[in-house]
Amino acid sequence: MTDLVRLTDLVLERDGRAVLSGASLALAAGERLAIVGANGAGKTTLLRAIVGLERAQAGAVALFGEDCLREADFRAARPRIGFLFQDSDDQLFCPSVLEDVAFGPLNAGLGAAEANARATATLERLGIAHLAARFTHRLSGGEKRLVCLAGLLAMEPRVLLLDEPTNGIDAANGARLAAALAAYAGAMILVSHDDAFVAAFATRAMILAEGRLVPGEIHDHPHLHSHPHIHPA
Ligand SMILES: Nc1ncnc2c1ncn2[C@@H]1O[C@H](COP(=O)(O)OP(=O)(O)OP(=O)(O)O)[C@@H](O)[C@H]1O
């Protein structure tokens, strides 16, 4: 089967410093790949390079089996990829929640009624229909996160890229997020420092260190209290 995302030996330098120095990965349908690594290791940069928001100086990106060489190639693939940004304020831009969630479907060519129906159904599925009429900029951090995810899921993407999805989320909204992701049938790449979340969701882990990705193993081994760790495989 064709890989949904394939990165081959990506090299990306910033200010003369290598952030990625030969990073490779392949994501198949149904996989939930966790990428872990220290602060500043380049995890966000890697996600941005997948969708062409940052361009590697060397190496190759292929999405859905198509090589992405030019901006037009990335643009063609982006509607099938939902990218949850680390900072929700970078993602939300419409005045109301319903408008924000309906924006993607509307932009993809659905009529206004159909786009609103899709947005309403997605908000209901996430358990946040009560936020539909709220101003996006007045939402709490956790609410913003779920609204961003609703906006992505309304586009019915084949791949989700999630950058620290549980950051700043309380238990109730965390449960909503977990339920929505558990019900999502597509593939995902999950960047997270939340070990419990990674252990619950990921089918595979990779560690980003010194610009390269190496296989990791998700462990759940007992300490004084039980908590999971990710080790090199
Ligand atoms: N716009 C930018 N301009 C200059 N340097 C940047 C920029 N964005 C990120 N960097 C630097 O690039 C490196 C990789 O950053 P990146 O955000 O990809 O790391 P990360 O692994 O996602 O970190 P974290 O776990 O803290 O979110 C860091 O050294 C960071 O300081």
Closest residue by Cα to residue 30 from 193, 231, 188, 214: 188
Helix, strand, coil share of the chain (percent; to 5): 35, 30, 30
pLDDT tier, 225 (very low <50, low <70, confident <90, very high otherwise): very low
At 174, list the tokens. 């965390």
pLDDT tier, 227 (very low <50, low <70, confident <90, very high otherwise): very low
Q: Is 130 in the pocket of ligand 1 (CB under 6 A)?
A: no
CATH classification code of 5-232: 3.40.50.300
Q: Is 44 in the pocket of ligand 1 (CB under 6 A)?
A: yes
Q: Is 43 in the pocket of ligand 1 (CB under 6 A)?
A: yes
For tokens 């009429």, name the residue.
133
pTM listed for this prediction = 0.92
Q: What is the pLDDT of residue 223?
A: 44
Please name the residue whose Cα sits nearest to atom 25 of ligand 1: 39
DSSP 37: -
Please name the residue whose Cα sits nearest to atom 18 of ligand 1: 42
ipTM: 0.95
Reduced to 3 states (helix: H, G, I; strand: E, B; else coil), residue 7 is strand
> Which of 12, 13, 19 is the best mutation target for the ligand 1 pocket, counting ligand atoms within 8 Å of the beta carbon and taking the most?
19
Q: What is the pLDDT of residue 76?
A: 95
Beta bridge partners of 219: 229
* CA 183, chain centre distance (Å): 15
